[in-house]
Structure 1
Amino acid sequence: MQNVIGIDLFSGAGGMSLGAEMAGINVKYAIEKDAYAAQTYSYNHPSTIMKNIDIRDIDTIPQELINGKSVLFGGAPCQGFSTSNRRTNNRNNSENWLYKEFIRVLNLVKPDWTVFENVTGIVEMESGVFWQGIVSDFINAGYTCTYSILNAADFGVPQRRNRLFLIGSKNGRKINLEPKANAKIVKVRDALFDLPELRNGANIDVLAYNCEPDNEYACLMRNGYKKCSGHLVSKNSKYVLERYKYISQGQNWKSIPINLMQNYSNPNRCHTGIYYRLREDDASVVIGNYRKNMIIHPWSDRGLSVREAARLQSFPDSYEFKGPLGYQQQQVGNAVPPLLAKYVFEKIIEQM
């Protein structure tokens, strides 16, 4: 296969880059503002030049990086586009305009292909006008565009997570991204069963596995490893742990006695994702900010470890996350599931 060069903007911890590499793309350059995410990226992608810098300070891309076939990809910070974040879901939020920096760099690089990834809420924002403007910017930059909303669970990821992918071709080609027919759902149980048994507040990073893998997904994630990192769990207060006891798999905060929810001004207005205990016999709900949402382990009364969340995102166990625990949790939750990204890039490779 011909050498295809990749450039990752707003790379985060590197979920999209990992998916691109799995598809055979040589990712040579990445830009990420957050220092801890950049540290994680560099550790796991040592051959990629990582620029730990605000993208607004980038005014050139080394031309030697983009000789031959190339693809520029990434997703501008998406919190402002989320349908669950109405407070910042508008054009007055400056973070919602960072996609313009993606367009600016796109015009600098002029790659053969581009992939713009984001939350699905961006399509609905301001009755679709904002999204139409984004697509027009890509078209004006010289790209033929198609876009699709894909659910990670359809591509081997043990998590129901919808993401939007806009694909742009410099050569007038279109790619039809479709869910795999009759895709097998990877269950939470298969993703987590072989990992170490942990307690609330677990703080030993590297541990051996609990048992041998007994399913294809666990084998894929382990890849022969005997131990791995990331077995870190937030330490919840006693009153939080007491709430966990009332929640069965597939249930949320509504199962908690009202007298245990007095610190909420109006418990009945809690989001449905708060205090959700994962079902072991199905794919996970969206991981996202799993610490803040108090997502509960399916059979232990505690939150998820970094490694457990990474498994639900399809990061292999060899992937190590850097920085304080809160930052590691954020890196995992913000990432594009690598197996989902892999599918998108494979489709692009087929057209090259």
Structure 2
Amino acid sequence: MTLAQPIAVDLFAGAGGFGLGFKMAGFSIPLSVEIDTWACDTLRYNHPDMTVIQYDIRDFNTESQVKEICIFKPDIIIGGPPCQGFSIAGPAQKDPKDPRNTLFINFAQWISFLQPKAFVMENVKGLLSRKNVDGIKVIDIIKNTFEELGYLVEVWLLNAAEYGVPQIRERVFIIGNNTGKKIGAPPKRYSLGLLNFNHFQLSILDHEKLFPAFTVMKLLLKG
């Protein structure tokens, strides 16, 4: 007996990189929503069996609008709302009223309307330190929003280099599920033959981290 694939909906899908990870993990993604034309063209080219909706998600404000597009019940909703307003890159002074900072509300609306078993929202590390105009941490606002929808919410700060990726890249993952059971961050998984860079950077790093076995340059040279 073959179990049916769990179904995911990908919001703020971009060219599909985040969704690709879920596909590799065994999820089916029949629906993606993205505003950028080129990203949508890429999604359609790479996933001809996927329904790709090119639209501004802020225009889907009602349950009937969302359910007209998503005619099935997803097991999980994933997405990475645009993060320029939270990023540490770019202008030094960030505008707390930047509309890109509130797109998580539209993400939460879809969760409220479709009631998936779980959701995963990805964003930049800067999200953890940002505050709104009232001085309240944005991450606390986001957590409270999802908790009010009945989800147990966890916030993980993960470094890609600690999972075998040849890049030091920290991202925030906001995970929610409606089972009431805490999942816990995934254990670190390193490639074989890793070097502990504490051995030669003890003056810089005060806790144990490991580099991947292969650097981008080595992989490029290997072809």
- TM score, norm. by length of structure 2: 0.80
Distance 1:98 1:6 in 2: 19
Name the amino acid aligned to 1:176.
Answer: G
Give 2:36's aligned residue.
Answer: 34
Q: How does 1:131-280 map to 2 (within 5 A)?
A: 131-180=139-188, 182-183=190-191, 184=194, 185=212, 186-195=214-223
Asked if 1:84 corresponds to 2:86, the answer is no
Residues 28 and 48, structure 1, Cα contact 8 Å, conserved in 2: yes
Offset of 1:12 from its aligned partner?
0.2
Offset of 1:63 from its aligned partner?
5.2
Give 1:60's aligned residue.
Answer: 66
Offset of 1:79 from its aligned partner?
1.0
User: In the TM superposition, what whole-angstrom CA distance separates every residue of 1:147-186 from its partner, at most 9, and x where no partner exists?
Assistant: 1111112223221111111110011122111441555403
Three-state SS of the structure 1 residue aligned to 2:188 is: coil
Asked if 1:71 corresponds to 2:76, the answer is yes
Name the amino acid aligned to 2:139.
Answer: W
Structure 1 or 2, whichever has the larger Rg, is 1
Residues 73 and 114, structure 1, Cα contact 8 Å, conserved in 2: yes
User: In the TM superposition, what whole-angstrom CA distance separates every residue of 1:204-239 from its partner, at most 9, and x where no partner exists?
Assistant: xxxxxxxxxxxxxxxxxxxxxxxxxxxxxxxxxxxx
Name the amino acid aligned to 2:184.
Answer: N
Give 1:263's aligned residue.
Answer: none
Offset of 1:190 from its aligned partner?
3.1
Seq. identity, %: 34
* 46 and 156 in structure 1: CA distance in 2 versus 1, 3 angstrom threshold: farther
Whichever structure has more strand as a proportion of its residues is 2
Distance 1:128 1:187 in 2: 40
User: In the TM superposition, what whole-angstrom CA distance separates every residue of 1:277-335 from its partner, at most 9, and x where no partner exists?
Assistant: xxxxxxxxxxxxxxxxxxxxxxxxxxxxxxxxxxxxxxxxxxxxxxxxxxxxxxxxxxx
- Structure with bigger RCO (C-alpha 8 Å, 6+ apart): 1
Name the amino acid aligned to 1:129.
Answer: K
Give 2:205's aligned residue.
Answer: none
* 63 and 85 in structure 1: CA distance in 2 versus 1, 3 angstrom threshold: closer
Query: What is the aligned length?
Result: 193
Residues 164 and 190, structure 2, Cα contact 8 Å, conserved in 1: no
Whichever structure has more helix as a proportion of its residues is 1
Taking only aligned residues, the RMSD between alpha carbons, in angstroms, comes to: 1.9
Name the amino acid aligned to 1:91.
Answer: P
Distance 1:88 1:117 in 2: 22
Offset of 1:146 from its aligned partner?
0.8
5+ residue gaps in structure 1?
A: 196-352
Give 2:198's aligned residue.
Answer: none
* 88 and 3 in structure 1: CA distance in 2 versus 1, 3 angstrom threshold: farther
Distance 2:142 2:168 in 1: 26
5+ residue gaps in structure 2?
A: 195-211
* 163 and 131 in structure 1: CA distance in 2 versus 1, 3 angstrom threshold: same
Distance 1:101 1:111 in 2: 15
Distance 2:55 2:92 in 1: 27
